[in-house]
Structure 1
């Protein structure tokens, strides 16, 4: 079975997508990564649908492995972004809770002041 052009095209697209994300990965926002994941899924689905009728040759399989090797740093970065977002939310909520505790105390104090008058 000869070299399959459709698979090559899909692999090239996947490689370009992945490399453009992997370059300067630390500066990528969660929106950019989300867009990448969605775009990539389309290409991956296309590859999967082709895999039924065409077998990848060793060269193509090697290329796919090389593309997938980027997954680990990308996932690590996604995790870091998620952790940062959670930390930010927790800090925001903590600040909000402190404020509401303070406001509740203030309300009680002023209520007691009014009673004393």
Structure 2
């Protein structure tokens, strides 16, 4: 995260990735979910999660799993499988194209899982389901 000072009233924050922004913005939620004795799954199409960010957020790095290089077409089914396994306290997925059919699939899987699913758009606008 880079912080630029343009004036005393204006401060611009530039995040290195959508995952870093999510860790910063959702820190209280993630820390509360961190207390569960379950995995914390992060999914993306490229490496985007740094251990230093996990440490800064106060998460247990022993429970954080980051699967990267997932193709978008495999991402929905991977999320569904992880939700159905009920072994994660939360799942964060970086996803760009979510059509209505896939959104319905994920909503059904979330309802049956008791797992929090955070979907992050790669242009740094986040979406929370459940």
TM-score strictly above 0.5: no
TM-score range (shorter-chain normalised) is under 0.3
**Greater gyration radius:** 1
Q: Which has the higher strand share?
A: 2
Between 1 and 2, higher relative CO (CA 8 Å, sep ≥ 6) is seen in 1
TM-score, reference length from structure 1: 0.26
TM-score, reference length from structure 2: 0.24
Q: Which has the higher helix share?
A: 1
